[in-house]
A and B are shown apart, each in its own frame.
Chain A
Amino acid sequence: MRKVYLIDDSIISPLGFSTQENFQNLQENNIGIKEVDNNDIWSAPFYGSVVDNTKLNEAWNSISNDKNGDYSKLEKMMILSVSKLLSNNPSLDISRCGIVISTTKGNIGEIRKEQNDKAYLGSIAKTIQGYFDLEQTPKVLSNACISGGLALAIGKRMIQAQLFDDVIVIGGDLLSEFTLSGFFSFQAVSAAPCKPFCKNRTGISLGEAAASAWLSADKNKINGEVISISGDASANDANHISGPSRTGEGLYISITKALKEANLRSEQIDYITAHGTATPFNDEMEAIAFNRAGLQEVPLNSLKGYYGHTLGASALIESIIARHCLLNNELIASVGFEELGVSQPVNVITKNESKKLTRVLKTASGFGGCNVALIIEKLA
């Protein structure tokens, strides 16, 4: 079966409007989570990671070929990330690419309006199709918090099945009153920037972001070291629709199957970029699954302390950052972490470190009992 390579990527987030800017901020341990005082989202100040509207509109006006069109904030962020990917890669012909869009709630704020066609997730695919003048409508995946990682897996599978030679995965979600109110009703929102895997954690922080990644069967398109997605798997816990499995079952199965596909053993993994939402049940479940898979000593971080939980974008962004950690041979500190707060040992990265890295495990888990694992590998 043919290999699938990660060629290039682009992130639009509060930590910058390019992957480079984002990665630099992570290297400096700068966080996107701030106190947000925005009555449209919440009646009281809260901690979250939001994209500045003024900055976004400036960037939009400088690249957009349709300045008078009706684009939502999320659509602008997604289109901006794709546009940057295209302008950085003149050889990338979007009209020949399969496109997978990953989002959980899309333009959900629109349901408050009487005319609310944009609240339908498919409308985002239509908007992107129209903007880039594409023949085919992009596919939309909405699979809770694993969407961004699962979309990469699906892109990889589409290439392996020779449905396409190139796929662009686009992920994005907004920080909305809709989702924030729901997580508040779950008593799951942290009163301070979130602290994944830490004893002093008090829940999640939400964030917003968009990102794009280019997957290809052709490694000659790579300028530099070759990074491949060499294994992927997804499995349901079959346990509970909102509570993570107590045994980490689905995540454990996902990791085991992804390792098997990549023909690797757990001790060959150099780094884990975990889901790490900073809710007690999630972090505990992950620690159990990593221990079952023999990965307890592998350096691990969660990027939720930087970005907050960006839902449909999160696992995509975390995979993109994993690629850049491999390219830079650098581990990024799991910001917010002080003292281990899970019952099983995990090796949380407490400060940035230069280290030769070859293989990364990316995992994500979400409502509905879904889990995904990806192996991202630097090939010699």
Chain B
Amino acid sequence: MEKFYISDFCSLRNNRVFKNGEKIYYDVTSESIKDFAKGLYKSLDLKYPKFHKMDELCKLGFLATEVLISHMEDVDQDTALVLSNRASSLDTDRKHQVSIDDRANFYPSPAVFVYTLPNIIMGEISIKNKLKSENAFFISEHFDPEFIANYSQVLLQTGKASNVICGWVDLDNDKYDVFLAFLSKKGKKELTKKELNNLYNQ
């Protein structure tokens, strides 16, 4: 059976950004996720006005992807996205709910509603990086390295994807946890559930 590898990985946690195990960004001042995301956006020197329109969950997933692939010249358009989290889009769902709680003051916002689906993160990443690829968004109680590794492997083995960006992008009640891995045919770390789990827990 053909072997696949975890060629790069990154995480966004507690105002810190790690790539391949190294701390590459630390924000000591930001108290909100919005400010942390904006600071990281600036430090990555991205010129992408659409970023400011995204909800916080998308910003986190989008930025993590930019960190993950920042050293790559370009990413193959058949690079699949296999993401997961616990809280789906509840952070934005609550905002939409507030806008419809009062029937006398009922102004749901289309720009909020469009983010009430977790897979929109993959839409934003696909638009930025021109990925016309397989997408799937799974919900689980905790990061499920076994299933994510298995499903990603299926995509790679069957040729449905050339590479896979997989991971966990969760945001709930002002707490976030983001971990992404780039899976490909090259690398030193073999793709196994154990390895993926180790890197997630690093």
Q: Could you count the A-B residue pairs with CB atoms below 8 Å apart for me: how many are there?
A: 156
Please name the residue on chain B nearest to A138 by beta carbon: B140
Inter-chain contacts of A158 with B (CB < 8 A):
150-151, 154
Given contacts A122-B140, A241-B123, A368-B123, contact A160 B158 (CB under 8 A): yes
Determine whether the beta carbon of A137 is less than 8 Å from that of B127.
no
Least Cβ–Cβ distance between B177 and chain A, in angstroms: 15
- Stretch touching chain A among B19-27, B31-39, B102-110, B188-196: B102-110
Given contacts A154-B136, A242-B114, contact A184 B108 (CB under 8 A): yes
For A369, give its contact among B116, B123, B154, B157 (CB under 8 Å). Answer: B123
- Check: A221 CB closer than 8 A to any chain B CB: no
1/0 contact string of B91-111 vs chain A (CB within 8 Å): 001101100110100101110
Q: Quick one: which of A152-196 are within 8 Å of B by CB?
A: 154, 157-158, 160-161, 163, 177-178, 181-182, 184-186
Determine whether the beta carbon of A236 is less than 8 Å from that of B135.
yes
Given contacts A140-B138, A160-B154, contact A43 B103 (CB under 8 A): yes
Determine whether the beta carbon of A368 is less than 8 Å from that of B109.
no
Please name the residue on chain A nearest to B86 by beta carbon: A122
- Check: A237 CB closer than 8 A to any chain B CB: yes
- We find that the number of chain A residues with CB closer than 8 angstroms to chain B is 54
Query: Complex formed: what's the CA distance from A185 to B122 in Å?
Result: 23
Inter-chain contacts of B116 with A (CB < 8 A):
105, 178, 182
Please name the residue on chain B nearest to A250 by beta carbon: B132
- Check: A356 CB closer than 8 A to any chain B CB: no
- Stretch touching chain B among A12-20, A45-53, A141-149, A332-340: A141-149
Least Cβ–Cβ distance between A311 and chain B, in angstroms: 10
Determine whether the beta carbon of A143 is less than 8 Å from that of B132.
no
Determine whether the beta carbon of A369 is less than 8 Å from that of B127.
yes
Least Cβ–Cβ distance between B3 and chain A, in angstroms: 15
For B151, give its contact among A120, A126, A157 (CB under 8 Å). Answer: A157
Residue picked from B77, B87, B97, most chain A C-beta under 10 Å: B97
- Check: B68 CB closer than 8 A to any chain A CB: no
Query: Complex formed: what's the CA distance from A160 to B155 in Å?
Result: 11
Q: Quick one: which of A1-16 are within 8 Å of B by CB?
A: 1
For B122, give its contact among A112, A184, A236 (CB under 8 Å). Answer: A236
- Check: A222 CB closer than 8 A to any chain B CB: no
- Check: B167 CB closer than 8 A to any chain A CB: no
- Check: A150 CB closer than 8 A to any chain B CB: yes
Inter-chain contacts of A43 with B (CB < 8 A):
103
- Check: B185 CB closer than 8 A to any chain A CB: no
Inter-chain contacts of A211 with B (CB < 8 A):
none
Please name the residue on chain A nearest to B147 by beta carbon: A139
For B100, give its contact among A119, A181, A239, A250 (CB under 8 Å). Answer: A181
Query: Complex formed: what's the CA distance from A121 to B131 in Å?
Result: 27
Inter-chain contacts of B118 with A (CB < 8 A):
142
- Check: A279 CB closer than 8 A to any chain B CB: no
Determine whether the beta carbon of B138 is less than 8 Å from that of A139.
yes
- Check: A240 CB closer than 8 A to any chain B CB: yes
Least Cβ–Cβ distance between A97 and chain B, in angstroms: 15
Query: Complex formed: what's the CA distance from A182 to B139 in Å?
Result: 22
- Check: A255 CB closer than 8 A to any chain B CB: no
Query: Complex formed: what's the CA distance from A108 to B89 in Å?
Result: 11
Least Cβ–Cβ distance between B122 and chain A, in angstroms: 6
Query: Complex formed: what's the CA distance from A240 to B50 in Å?
Result: 11
Query: Complex formed: what's the CA distance from A249 to B130 in Å?
Result: 12
Determine whether the beta carbon of A370 is less than 8 Å from that of B158.
no
- Check: A253 CB closer than 8 A to any chain B CB: yes
Query: Complex formed: what's the CA distance from A108 to B94 in Å?
Result: 10
- Check: A233 CB closer than 8 A to any chain B CB: yes
Determine whether the beta carbon of B137 is less than 8 Å from that of A178.
no
- Check: A111 CB closer than 8 A to any chain B CB: yes
Determine whether the beta carbon of A157 is less than 8 Å from that of B158.
yes
Please name the residue on chain A nearest to B81 by beta carbon: A236
Determine whether the beta carbon of B136 is less than 8 Å from that of A140.
no
Least Cβ–Cβ distance between A107 and chain B, in angstroms: 11
Determine whether the beta carbon of B123 is less than 8 Å from that of A142.
no
- Check: B11 CB closer than 8 A to any chain A CB: no
Determine whether the beta carbon of B88 is less than 8 Å from that of A120.
yes
Query: Complex formed: what's the CA distance from A102 to B129 in Å?
Result: 27
Please name the residue on chain B nearest to A150 by beta carbon: B136
Least Cβ–Cβ distance between A179 and chain B, in angstroms: 8
Q: List 16 A-B contacts (CB under 8 A).
A: A43-B103, A105-B116, A120-B88, A140-B139, A141-B136, A143-B119, A144-B120, A150-B136, A154-B136, A160-B158, A181-B96, A184-B108, A242-B110, A367-B119, A368-B123, A370-B123
Binding site for B on A (CB under 8 A): 1, 43, 104-106, 108, 111-112, 119-122, 125-126, 137, 139-144, 150, 154, 157-158, 160-161, 163, 177-178, 181-182, 184-186, 233-242, 249-250, 253, 257, 366-370
* 4 cross-chain pairs, A with B, having the tightest CB-CB distances, nearest first: A368-B123, A182-B113, A140-B139, A236-B126
Given contacts A144-B119, A163-B154, 6 further A-B contacts (CB under 8 A): A161-B157, A181-B100, A185-B109, A237-B132, A367-B119, A367-B120
